[in-house]
């Protein structure tokens, strides 16, 4: 039986049809060979051969991964697909390589267009498709799904700011999310600074393409991020046959559908504050000590949010009645919702905020003019400590718990 493989890489992408084919898992030698093989490709100076046992480095197929088909979008001069064509054929996987340009235009732009296309299509279970828009995959492949859709270094054709590149990856992720199988993955390679994975502050993160937020909008979670060693000819720079720089730390962002828990560092979060009026009595639940030092507030909120959303209370503080003008002291809690196995969207998080306010108010009174305020925009979980520090001026203290 034959296996199906569809591939997509670079500039504004392309996809193409692949019939359904059974597949067996790759061997350890296969996973290494796929990355190493190259069809007279120019290896960028920043690329270093992947170490076979290094889990931090992206490998074409993990040892425990089962893939029947793969789609590669926007494959520049088709070098990426050509570099893996032989190995993929040996594994009986059907491969489709796609580009945005029509065949005539592609041949005029790229010196290796014809030779790379022939190298791919010479195998009976491979094909090359032209004029494929990676943002409209459902129109090109109606009724089909793929176990892997890959887009290496997407970039708006021509010089562009964040706005147009964000629109590109948003549209790609929206389309690809409809085309992957239940256990399928979307792999998207980004150069250093585009993905925001190593951002240290919210300001730094917001100056990236913020792919996690766009993925979440389309029901996707960031399952993993790995170093990507681009071992093929990087040929398409703003739609012309010219190499481009990918920096020292290009990353492969791996997205999948909701349902399975992802690492805490990869989760997306939204936050808001609860302002609780502290009672003067010393009854168990309502005592100031229980409210401030216990986990009761967190437990109450965790009970009312959907399964797959994790609640944190990373900061809390007390405002004295002498400072607020209220008759009692006031406790301020920073409430954070994290998408553990559900994607984190701002509108959904605001529903959690409403549920939290209703549930907590059954036990303690809330400050009226602080209820109903919209939650924050989503931010990566690894920036939570920075968010807490930035909000210290508002009376919140970092929790010691």
Residue that finishes a domain, picked among 189, 223, 257? 257
Taking the C-alpha atoms of residue 72 and residue 153, their distance in angstroms, rounded to an integer, is: 12
| 8 Å CB contact between 9 and 120 | no
Contact partners, residue 25, CB within 8 Å, separation at least 6: 61, 63, 64, 65, 66
Task: Check whether residue 316 and residue 194 sit in a common domain.
Answer: no
Task: Check whether residue 311 and residue 224 sit in a common domain.
Answer: no
Q: Is the pLDDT higher at 5 or at 76?
A: 76
CA angle 388, 56, 192 (to 5 degrees): 60
Taking the C-alpha atoms of residue 80 and residue 172, their distance in angstroms, rounded to an integer, is: 19
Q: Which domain holds residue 86?
A: 7-257
Tokens of 367: 């400050």
**Structural domain total, the chain:** 2
Taking the C-alpha atoms of residue 75 and residue 80, their distance in angstroms, rounded to an integer, is: 7
Task: Check whether residue 237 and residue 288 sit in a common domain.
Answer: no
Q: Is 128 helix (H, G, I), strand (E, B) or coil?
A: strand
Q: Which residues pair with 254 in a beta bridge?
A: 187, 224
In a domain, 401, yes or no: no
Contact partners, residue 40, CB within 8 Å, separation at least 6: none
Give the mean pLDDT of 136-163. Answer: 87
Report the percent of the chain where pLDDT is more than 70.
Answer: 75
Taking the C-alpha atoms of residue 183 and residue 260, their distance in angstroms, rounded to an integer, is: 10
Task: Check whether residue 242 and residue 296 sit in a common domain.
Answer: no
Whether residue 183 has pLDDT greater than 50: yes
89-99 residue pLDDT tens: 877 788 889 99
Task: Check whether residue 98 and residue 190 sit in a common domain.
Answer: yes
| β-strand pairing of 126-129 with 94-98 | parallel
Candidates 176, 365, 377, 362; CA nearest to 257 is 176
Task: Check whether residue 209 and residue 346 sit in a common domain.
Answer: no
Task: Check whether residue 65 and residue 206 sit in a common domain.
Answer: yes
In a domain, 273, yes or no: yes
Residue that finishes a domain, picked among 192, 224, 257? 257
Per-residue pLDDT, 233: 67
Q: Is the pLDDT higher at 146 or at 159?
A: 146
Task: Check whether residue 65 and residue 151 sit in a common domain.
Answer: yes
Whether residue 398 has pLDDT greater than 50: no
Task: Check whether residue 252 and residue 309 sit in a common domain.
Answer: no
Task: Check whether residue 298 and residue 217 sit in a common domain.
Answer: no
Among 58-67, 186-195, 386-395, top mean pLDDT goes to 186-195
- Rounded to 5 degrees, what are φ and ψ at 30? -65, -45
Whether residue 232 has pLDDT greater than 80: no
Taking the C-alpha atoms of residue 149 and residue 94, their distance in angstroms, rounded to an integer, is: 13
- pTM of the entire predicted model: 0.81
For residue 200, count other CB atoms closer than 10 A to its CB.
11
Task: Check whether residue 200 and residue 282 sit in a common domain.
Answer: no
Report the percent of the chain where pLDDT is more than 90.
Answer: 53
Residue that finishes a domain, picked among 227, 257, 287? 257
Task: Check whether residue 15 and residue 72 sit in a common domain.
Answer: yes
Give the mean pLDDT of 92-120. Answer: 91
Q: What is the CATH number of the domain that holds 277?
A: 3.30.70.380
Tokens of 336: 């954070």
Contact partners, residue 163, CB within 8 Å, separation at least 6: none
36-79 residue pLDDT tens: 333 333 333 333 444 555 667 777 655 456 788 889 999 989 98
């Amino acid at each position: 039986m034959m296996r199906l493989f569809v591939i997509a890489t670079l500039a504004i992408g392309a996809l193409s049809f692949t019939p359904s084919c059974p597949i067996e898992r790759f061997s350890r030698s296969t996973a290494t060979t796929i990355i190493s093989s190259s069809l007279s490709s120019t290896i960028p100076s920043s690329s270093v051969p992947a170490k076979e046992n290094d889990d931090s480095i992206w490998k074409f197929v993990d040892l425990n991964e089962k893939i029947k088909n793969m789609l590669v979008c926007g494959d520049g001069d088709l070098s990426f697909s050509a570099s893996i064509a032989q190995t993929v054929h040996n594994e009986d996987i059907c491969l489709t390589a796609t580009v945005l340009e029509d065949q005539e235009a592609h041949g005029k732009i790229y010196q290796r267009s014809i030779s790379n296309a022939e190298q791919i299509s010479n195998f009976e279970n491979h094909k090359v498709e032209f004029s494929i828009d990676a943002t409209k995959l459902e129109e090109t492949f109606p009724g089909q799904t793929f176990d892997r859709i890959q887009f290496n270094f997407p970039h708006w054709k021509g010089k562009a700011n964040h706005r147009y590149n964000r629109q590109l990856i948003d549209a790609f992720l929206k389309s690809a999310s409809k085309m992957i199988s239940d256990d399928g993955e979307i792999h998207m390679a980004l150069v250093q600074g585009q993905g925001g994975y190593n951002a240290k502050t919210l300001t730094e993160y917001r100056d990236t393409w913020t792919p996690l937020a766009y993925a979440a909008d389309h029901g996707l979670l960031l399952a993993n991020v790995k170093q990507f060693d681009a071992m093929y000819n990087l040929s398409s720079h703003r739609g012309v046959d010219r190499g481009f720089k990918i920096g020292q730390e290009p990353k492969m962002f791996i997205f999948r559908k909701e349902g399975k828990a992802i690492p805490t560092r990869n989760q997306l979060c939204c936050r808001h504050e609860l302002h609780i009026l502290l009672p003067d009595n010393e009854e168990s639940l309502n005592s100031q000590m229980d409210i401030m030092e216990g986990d009761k507030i967190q437990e109450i909120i965790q009970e009312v949010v959907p399964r797959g959303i994790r609640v944190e209370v990373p900061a809390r503080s007390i405002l004295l009645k002498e400072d607020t003008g209220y008759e009692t002291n006031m406790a301020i809690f920073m409430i954070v919702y994290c998408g553990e196995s559900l994607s984190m969207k701002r509108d959904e998080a605001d529903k959690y905020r409403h549920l939290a306010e209703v549930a907590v108010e059954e036990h303690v009174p809330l400050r009226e003019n602080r209820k109903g305020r919209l939650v924050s925009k989503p931010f990566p979980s690894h920036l939570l400590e920075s968010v807490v520090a930035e909000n210290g001026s508002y009376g919140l203290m970092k929790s010691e718990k």
